[in-house]
Amino acid sequence: MHQTGLQAVRMPNPSQQEHVVIGHRGAPGYRPEHTAVSYDLAIDLGADRIEPDVVLTRDGVLVARHENELSLSTDVTDHPEFAGRRRTQEVDGREVTGWFTEDFTLAELRTLRAVERMPTMRPLNTAYDGRFGILTLAEVVALARRRSTRARPIRVQAELKYPSWWASQGLPMVELVHAELRRMDASGHDGPVVLQTFDTAALRALRDGLGSRGPSLVQLISDLPYHDELATPAGLRAISTYADGIGPGKRRILVRAADESLVSVSDLVGQAHRAGLTVSVWTLRAENAFLPLHLRSGQDPAGLGDLQTEARLLFALGVDGLITDFPETAVRAREELSAALGPGRPRA
């Protein structure tokens, strides 16, 4: 086993910590992402929340897709009637070629079927290609409400994809989200929906539009340098004026060297808590390609390594939630830590 350099790190006592497991796009370790079966499976595997990404259709409907380009996650390339809609455009600063949700009405999107987005990494999931359709945000919320009980409420932690870019295309995502939450009677702070995005301006607009009693808001923080300022004490204090939590990439907490070995942990969790913010870390995946070097098993990037140890370490460091493709592994890590350090009741 490789040395991680963590032996001297003092861990906080998390025995009273309330840990949330968030099914990233459902349970895409086992089923194609953003499908009803993926969300249902995540809940079956113990997730407290399910996490759809949200983009827009031409007729302004909020739908669950990781990006607005459709060819990676649907069978749009098999539909000759849509061949003429393939084009190239700049999306949030990147040039992208493909088929885009904003060129389709919801009725047209209903004719497409989901496919596995990472077929080389998760070939078994391709057995479900073509079996499930595209969901709206309202349908994801309805699914969570159907599965909720008083003893075990299920919430939706929805990521709004590049809201400011949508506004530049004439589709005011923030306003459409306001309207949809109110229509669903889901706009309360303790309601079924949590909203998150990388877009700071959009989060401020959401807070201004929905007020302090509106849904919980989470500022996502990329691993990339352009978000470094957000992860400073001053940046976290600024975030606390408009959001309730942060969602950092896990590499901002579990710091890796160039060879992918784990070398240290940062104090971001403690700094965020001191600023009054919760911390939901993304994204935990079991395949070797996504794990630090010492937790990998074998040389195959698609082979399954020791995700449970990574999840347990993050919980031990005091994070409030883990966003994961494999919810049951995070649940086991939570149970293992609870048994070792004392019981704590999960929070949804």
Give the span between the Cα atoms of 218 and 339, in whole angstroms: 29
| Sign of the CA dihedral running 275, 280, 282, 285 | positive
User: pLDDT per residue over 239-293, tens digit each?
Assistant: 999 999 999 999 999 999 999 999 999 999 999 999 999 999 999 999 999 999 9
Give the span between the Cα atoms of 48 and 33, in whole angstroms: 17
Record the tokens describing residue 246, joined without a space.
Answer: 């942060």
The amino acid at residue 234 is: A
Record the tokens describing residue 132, joined without a space.
Answer: 């499930």
Residue 60 is assigned to a structural domain of this protein: yes
Domain count of the fold of the chain: 1
pTM, two decimals, is 0.92
Residue 90 is assigned to a structural domain of this protein: no
DSSP codes of every residue in 50-105: EE-EEEE-TT--EEE-SSSB-TTTB-GGG-GGGGGG-EEEEETTEEEEE-BGGGS-
Give the span between the Cα atoms of 279 and 301, in whole angstroms: 28
Record the tokens describing residue 233, joined without a space.
Answer: 């004490």
Residue 162 is assigned to a structural domain of this protein: yes
Helices 137-147 and 36-44, packing angle to 10 deg: 30
Name the phi and psi angles at 37, rounded to 5: -65, -30
Residue 189 is assigned to a structural domain of this protein: yes
Record the tokens describing residue 76, joined without a space.
Answer: 């749009």
Q: Is 175:101 a contact under the CB 8 Å cutoff?
A: no
Residue 294 is assigned to a structural domain of this protein: yes
Give the span between the Cα atoms of 124 and 133, in whole angstroms: 19
Distances (CA, A) of 193 to 50, 85, 177, 208, 323: 10, 33, 11, 17, 15
Domain residues for the domain of 32 are: 20-68+136-341
Q: Is 69:44 a contact under the CB 8 Å cutoff?
A: no
| pLDDT at residue 343, rounded to an integer | 53
| pLDDT at residue 25, rounded to an integer | 98
Residue 121 is assigned to a structural domain of this protein: no
Closest to 65 (Cα-Cα) out of 20, 128, 109: 109
| pLDDT at residue 339, rounded to an integer | 87
Residues of the chain with pLDDT under 50: 1-17, 344-348
| pLDDT at residue 189, rounded to an integer | 86
What is the domain-level CATH number for residue 49? 3.20.20.190
Residue 126 is assigned to a structural domain of this protein: no
| pLDDT at residue 231, rounded to an integer | 97
Residue 62 is assigned to a structural domain of this protein: yes
Distances (CA, A) of 150 to 27, 46, 229, 348: 23, 15, 40, 11
| pLDDT at residue 6, rounded to an integer | 41
